[in-house]
Amino acid sequence: MASFWNLFKQFFPPTSKWSPDEIPDLTGKVALVTGGNVGLGKETCKHLLIKGCTVWLAARSKSKAEQAIADLKKETGKEALFLELDLNDLKAVKESAEKFKGQNSALHILICNAGVMVPPIEQVTAQGYDLQFGVNALGHFFLIQKLLPLLKATSNSLAETRIVWVASSAQFYFKNPPVDYENLTDTPSRKKLGKQGLYTQSKFITVMLGIYLAKLLAEDQNSNVISIYLDPGNIHTELGRNFPPFVATLMAWTILHPISKGVLTQLYAATSPEAAQYNGKYLRPWARLGEPHPQTKDEVEQKKMWDYCMAAIKDYE
């Protein structure tokens, strides 16, 4: 009965007590939103633009990004900036980060929003990692590492800068923690785990990395950067495009919520003055404190995953 009730609350969260109207003036602030051309990312960019933020919309497709930027300008009267970013390739991530740093002297908000969900099992990253791990976790990890010095330099004792990791309730469905590292590269055991298992694994890892980064940031007395990780909710976006049409339609009719709701939690994490105290905290729909999967808190496994990711990016720094 308890598990059913938890599942029900996950699918149908209580009404939010916070709205984007409460976002403070962001004039003079700079934000980078990955996957900003569609879905939650695009809606996030819209609200940041409305509040006066300089918004960099990061996406792999230039044509889709340019269309999104045009759409956003019609809606807000303000123009986002495009950053080409392919999280599938660590070399490309480095190039994008260097380009961003070359054009910006500050970064106040980094929202790691982009992601892939249950793509064909044959797909791997340019470096041979599982695609869902590579894009959802490792690619963002590397982007954060490259931009962290700028985030630290932008922060001060009176104003923090923020890293927002968009995870998922899928972390709770990761069946066999701790992570089996054989499943992170193109191995038979990875294929055996399956597309859905690999997705839940990638979000479980995202949460672990978000927690561990928060600990490191809390220990740094010379900067004021915070790391928040969250579940945006079950949202009707293009992320589910790889599901069979019948399944996608059924989900849309029953358990998926509109983008206008899905964007609440990451906007709250990125902009709310109250969220400035939430370094290392997990947020759930809609903009509420919650608790992640208990085993994501295993400090030994966090450190192991952190070291694995650091080794993975070493040759591309």
161 in Cβ contact with 228 (< 8 Å): no
Please give the helix or strand (H or E) that residue 32 lies within, else none: strand 30-34
The tens digit of pLDDT for each residue in 276-293 reads 999 999 999 999 999 999
83 in Cβ contact with 99 (< 8 Å): yes
Among all residues, which ones are annotated catalytic? 199, 203
Q: Structure pTM?
A: 0.92
d(CA 92, CA 82): 15
Say if residue 250's pLDDT is above 50: no
Phi and psi at residue 77, to the nearest 5°: 80, 5
Query: What does the pLDDT read at residue 168?
Result: 93
Query: What does the pLDDT read at residue 158?
Result: 77
Q: What mean pLDDT do residues 283-312 have? A: 97
Supply 240's token pair.
Answer: 């589910």
Query: What does the pLDDT read at residue 6?
Result: 54
Q: What mean pLDDT do residues 148-167 have? A: 94
Classify residue 93 as exposed, middle or buried by CB count within 10 Å of its CB (0-12, 13-18, 19+): buried
Phi and psi at residue 84, to the nearest 5°: -70, 130
166 in Cβ contact with 136 (< 8 Å): no
% residues pLDDT > 70 (the chain): 89
Q: What mean pLDDT do residues 215-224 have? A: 95
Confidence of residue 233 (pLDDT cuts 50, 70, 90): confident
The tens digit of pLDDT for each residue in 17-56 reads 999 999 999 999 999 999 999 999 999 999 999 999 999 9
d(CA 39, CA 171): 21
d(CA 23, CA 315): 40
Helix (H, G, I), strand (E, B) or coil at 288: strand
